[in-house]
Each structure stands twice: as structure tokens, then as C-alpha cells.
A and B are shown apart, each in its own frame.
Chain A
């Protein structure tokens, strides 16, 4: 079973609108973390946002917010006021403890295209 599931291979959004990218996860580790990365066509991986499993409030970073619903094991990324530069692949990831380390696991990604 996949630990991180991104069910949307591709998403389209109109410029200036908000968009939600879905992510569900599966873990038995009570102390885990969830994060999102953006990968534009240039290939670089850009860290966007992080949410710890014990954080009470949803994480926000500028136009990015993480809608964390612990009981549903979901960690959706919300991008407000989309811009053309937001067109990219987006990866949801989780880190969970394994032995003495935290091991990251990435989802398969969602390709977002922002239309003018």
C-alpha cells in the first residue's frame, strides 16, 4: 500500500483562482511530518510548507496553506490566487521515524497547469 497517495495526476486552474491539491497518507508513527515540494520544468525541488503531526494549527506560508485533517489522514495543499509561475509538479511527502532516523516518502505528484 502506498504511504502517500496523490489521486490527481493533473490539475488545471484559472489564473487568480484558488486550487486544492489532494494528499492522503498512511502511517502508524504518532510523530510524523508532512510537507509539499514544487518542481518546475527546470527540475529543481523547491520546499513549500511543512506540518508536524502534533501541530494544532494548519501551516501557512504566503499563498500556500496546508489543510491538515488528522482523523482523515489528509494533508491537502491550497494555493490561493494562482499565478502562471505556479505551473509545476507538486509532490506531497511524509517523514516517519524508522530506527534512529526520519525516512521521507514522496507521492507520485500532481501536475498543475495555470491558465491565463
Chain B
């Protein structure tokens, strides 16, 4: 079974703190994604990566950065957390284009971040 794990289920941080959200997958997937989920807005893509050290902006990258030093790990960084970044953050991984079932994303359990 594919497993995607996220470092914390719940996190509380103060405004201005630097926040790291970690995501690890164990299926050697090339693609990894970070989303935030807010009520009424669905999932919005923040950043994605299709290879080590590669990253691409999604729909809402402002205020975030990412790091992918190893294939299995994709980190989301909030350089200076703000209250409007309070949200559920979901990580996902998938196989690259052309591979069977590459359309299916495997999601982690999510991290509910509260910035006070």
C-alpha cells in the first residue's frame, strides 16, 4: 500500500514564526503536491514537484515555499506565518505521466495548522 505521511496532524504557531510542514511518501513517486483546503473553497494547489530539486508554482504560492532534496520528501515552508494561513494542508503524491494509474493521487492525512 502506498503511504503518504505528514509530520503533524495538528499544529499551532504564532504569527511571524517560520513553519515547516513535512511530507514523506514510500512508493518512489516522482510527483508530489501540496494543497490547502478551506471550507467552501475545496483544495487549492500551492506547489508541486515532479522531480528532486524541481518545483512549480500552483494556484496560490504566495507566502509559501517548498523544498525537495530527496525523492521521498517534500516540505512546505511558511517563511513568516500569518493568520490567513490557518488551514488544512494536504500532501499528495503520484506516478509520472505515462505510467499506469498515474492519474491517481495518494493523499496524506493532512495537517491542521492554526496561526494565532
Contacts and interface: CB of A to CB of B under 8 A. Distances in A.
- Most chain B CB within 10 A, of A4, A43, A103, is at A43
Given A44-B109, A47-B104, A91-B43, A102 B97 contact: yes
A47 B1 CA distance: 14
B74 interface: no
A40 interface: no
Contacts of B44: 106
Interface in A62-116: 91, 93, 95, 99-109
Contacts of A50: 103-104
Contacts of B107: 44-45
A21 to B, nearest CB: 13
Given A33-B103, A47-B105, A107 B33 contact: no
A25 interface: no
Interface residues of A, number: 25
A95 B90 contact: no
B33 to A, nearest CB: 7
A103 B59 CA distance: 10
A35 B103 contact: yes
Contacts of B48: 101, 103
Nearest to A95: B103
Interface string B86-116: 0010101000010000111111011000000
Interface of B: 31, 33, 35, 40-45, 48, 50, 56, 58-59, 88, 90, 92, 97, 102-107, 109-110
Interface of A: 4, 6, 9, 33, 35, 43-45, 47, 50, 52, 91, 93, 95, 99-109
| 6 tightest Cβ-Cβ pairs between the two chains A and B | A45-B107, A106-B43, A108-B42, A106-B42, A33-B103, A50-B103
